[in-house]
């Protein structure tokens, strides 16, 4: 029996290959040595593609966590943590990582073995349940309070109306009128409270660009404080959408009111209303976001901005940063409920000291969406004519996605993973390169510095720069460094190709 055990061999590689967790082995320089089938399914790269490649930008997005892991592993400990990982398409996952340090026969560190489990869905479900419980509690409270207030307000409103018909004294008539107005205002607040419990259902009225323009101008006249100027731009060919205009106007009022409060000493509120077609890349913007045709109403203020730790909660019911009795957290929560009721979504972006942008997206009418789908199916794609484009991005998944998209449309593509590599490549081959497309934020040499260096090498260089941020200071800096085009992440393949074609044509 002992001879049988002694002669038996265990194929550990086969065991790891069949493991349900993503098992990844990489050396101390982050180059992949082993990649099992579960890792292929989770991250999107086949083993043949990924072996020997660095994966630091996939596994170690936070350098502090990387340093903490290495310190623990060298001490002989097992390190585990929930980390943000990205797949081939750039989608982000929350992964439970368990790491071990593999040593050679001499005891020297050789490789790191990672057992990775995707817990994104599990965490989202847990967060959703927690958030749902909080919202349900708030809704039940709001509904109960509203019910009691309705019972109190109904006799006041009925009695005041009846008394006005029987009282002839002018002073008494004025007082009854004031009581009636206050009761009506209370009834409107009750309606808002009940909306937290029941939600806003939207409507099916046709809403056109002229109606949205008039509504926004009226809101501006009523709410904008002294020193705050309005810049309104509405697309002339704005698509039609369906809903209830009065509800949408209430949502717009909440956003404008918040913008004015963020600019107590004055500033600029810019409202831009445009047609937008979002592809699958945009579904990460918000839980309610889906690919399709939308009307986007974008509010941008030059105010104080919102702290990063507060930003995720600003649209929750009863959340407010105002002093007691100055606000109750109804505004943006009510706006968010209204937009959801219209099958749209709302995205809030802000940086402290850089202002705030609120994007409200309402689906275009079904007939518009069908017509657009038919046009996109029948229209021939814009194709390049073999122009060579240098793509610069430190994120491997973004770089590869842009490369595949451009090559699919007939362009030739060179790639660089940072500004230093891009500058060296351009200096060597600038006569062959028709366009440079670079990210704004990169290690070693950021986008603006790269653009200025490229302009020194070739004053006629054509450059498109892209970024996920939109602060006024950064945008102004971009304009001053010789850039012809700008793309804001995330962008669709059509937006990318249109910008490339526009810059090349000029």
Strands of 364-434, DSSP E = 388-392, 412-416
The pLDDT score that the predictor gives to residue 57 is 67
DSSP 3-state of 410 = coil
- Last residue of a domain, which of 118, 139, 170? 118
Residue 258, SS3? helix
Helix (H) or strand (E) holding 125: helix 120-166
Residues 6+ apart with CB under 8 A from 10: none
In a domain, 352, yes or no: yes
Determine the pLDDT at residue 202: 62
Q: Does 431 share its domain with 480?
A: yes
Dist. CA 436–CA 426, nearest whole Å: 9
359 and 326 in a single domain? The answer is yes
Bridge partner list, 390: 414, 436
Q: Are residues 272 and 229 in the same domain?
A: yes
> Is the distance from CB of 456 to CB of 430 less than 8 angstroms?
no
Domain with residue 73: its CATH number is 3.30.450.20
Q: Which of 118, 147, 164 is the last residue of a domain?
A: 118
Q: What is the pLDDT of residue 185?
A: 78
Answer yes or no: is 5 within a domain: no
Residues 349 and 442 in one domain: no
Q: Is residue 3 domain-resident?
A: no
pLDDT at 486: 85
Tell me the two tokens of residue 26: 């990489």
User: Per residue in 444-462, pLDDT tens?
Assistant: 788 888 888 898 899 999 9
280 and 336 in a common domain: yes
CATH number at residue 304: 3.30.565.10
Q: What angle do CA 456, 461, 467 make, to 5 degrees?
A: 100
Domain boundary among 339, 373, 407: 373
β-partners of residue 54 are: 31
Residues 294 and 423 in one domain: no
Write 52-55 long-range contacts (CB < 8 A, 24+): 54/29, 54/30, 55/24, 55/26, 55/30, 55/31
Is the backbone peptide bond immediately before 349 cis, with ω within 30 degrees of 0? Answer: no
Tell me whether residue 134 is in a domain.
yes
Largest CA distance in the chain: 114
pLDDT reported for residue 232: 94
Considering the domain boundaries, does residue 425 fall inside one? yes
Same domain, 397 and 279: no
Reduced to 3 states, what is the DSSP secondary structure of residue 305? coil
Classified as helix, coil or strand, 453 is: helix
CATH of the domain at 483: 3.40.50.2300
236 in a domain, yes or no?
Answer: yes
Please, what is the Cα angle at 149 between 145 and 152, to 5 degrees? 145
Q: What is the DSSP string of 223-257?
A: HPPTTEEEEEEE-TTPPPEEE-HHHHHHHHHHHHH
| CA dist., res. 78 & res. 100, Å (int) | 5
Pair 274, 364 in one domain:
yes
Cα distance between residue 299 and residue 252, in whole Å:
9
Same domain, 173 and 246: no
Same domain, 209 and 351: yes
Count the domains in the chain.
4
What is the rounded CA–CA span in Å between residue 447 and residue 391? 12
Clarify whether residues 254 and 164 are in a common domain: no
- 163 plus 296 within the same structural domain: no
The residue ranges of the chain whose pLDDT is under 50 are 1-8, 378-380
Domain that holds residue 69: 10-118
Residue 108 within any structural domain of the chain? yes
């Amino acid at each position: 029996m002992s001879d049988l055990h002694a002669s038996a061999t265990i194929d550990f590689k086969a065991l790891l290959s069949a493991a349900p967790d993503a098992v990844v082995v990489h050396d101390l320089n982050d180059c992949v040595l082993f990649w099992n089938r579960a890792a292929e399914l989770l991250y999107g790269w086949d083993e043949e593609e990924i072996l020997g490649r660095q994966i630091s930008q996939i596994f170690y997005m936070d350098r502090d966590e990387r340093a903490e892991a290495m310190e623990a592993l060298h001490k002989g400990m097992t390190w585990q943590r929930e980390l943000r990982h990205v797949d081939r398409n750039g989608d982000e996952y929350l992964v439970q990582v368990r790491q071990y340090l593999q040593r050679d026969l001499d005891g020297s560190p050789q490789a790191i073995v990672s057992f990775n489990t995707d817990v994104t869905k599990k965490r989202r479900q847990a967060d959703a349940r927690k958030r749902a419980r909080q919202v349900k509690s708030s809704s039940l409270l709001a509904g109960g309070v509203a019910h009691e207030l309705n019972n109190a307000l109904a006799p006041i409103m009925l009695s005041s109306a009846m008394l006005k018909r029987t009282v002839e004294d002018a002073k008494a008539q004025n007082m009854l009128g004031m009581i009636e107005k206050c009761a009506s205002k209370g009834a409107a607040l009750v309606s808002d409270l009940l909306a937290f419990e029941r939600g806003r259902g939207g409507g099916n009225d046709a809403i056109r660009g002229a109606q949205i323009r008039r509504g926004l101008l009226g809101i501006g006249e009523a709410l904008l404080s002294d020193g705050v100027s309005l810049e309104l731009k509405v697309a002339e060919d704005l698509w039609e959408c369906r809903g209830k205009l009065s509800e949408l106007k209430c949502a717009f009022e909440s956003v404008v009111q918040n913008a004015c409060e963020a600019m107590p000493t004055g500033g600029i509120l810019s409202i831009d209303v445009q047609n937008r077609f979002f592809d699958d890349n945009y579904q990460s913007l918000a839980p309610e976001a889906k690919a399709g045709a939308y009307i986007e109403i974008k509010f941008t203020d030059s105010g104080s901005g919102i702290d990063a730790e507060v930003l995720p909660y600003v649209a929750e019911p009863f959340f407010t940063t105002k002093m007691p009795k100055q606000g109750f957290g109804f505004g943006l929560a009510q706006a968010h409920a209204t937009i959801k009721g219209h099958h749209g979504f709302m995205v809030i972006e802000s940086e402290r000291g850089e202002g705030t942008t609120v994007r409200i997206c309402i689906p275009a009418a079904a007939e518009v969406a069908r017509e657009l789908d038919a046009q996109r199916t029948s229209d021939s794609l814009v194709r390049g004519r073999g122009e060579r484009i240098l793509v610069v991005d430190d994120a491997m998944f973004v770089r590869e996605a842009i490369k595949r998209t451009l090559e699919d449309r007939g362009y030739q593509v060179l790639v660089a993973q940072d500004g230093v590599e891009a500058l060296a490549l351009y200096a060597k081959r600038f006569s062959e390169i028709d366009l440079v497309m670079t990210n704004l934020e990169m290690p070693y040499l950021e986008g603006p510095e790269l653009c200025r260096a490229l302009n020194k090498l070739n004053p006629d260089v054509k450059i498109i720069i892209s970024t996920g941020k939109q602060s006024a200071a950064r945008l102004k800096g971009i304009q001053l460094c010789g850039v012809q085009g700008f793309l804001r992440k995330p962008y669709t393949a059509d937006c990318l190709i249109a910008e490339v074609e526009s810059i090349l044509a000029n």
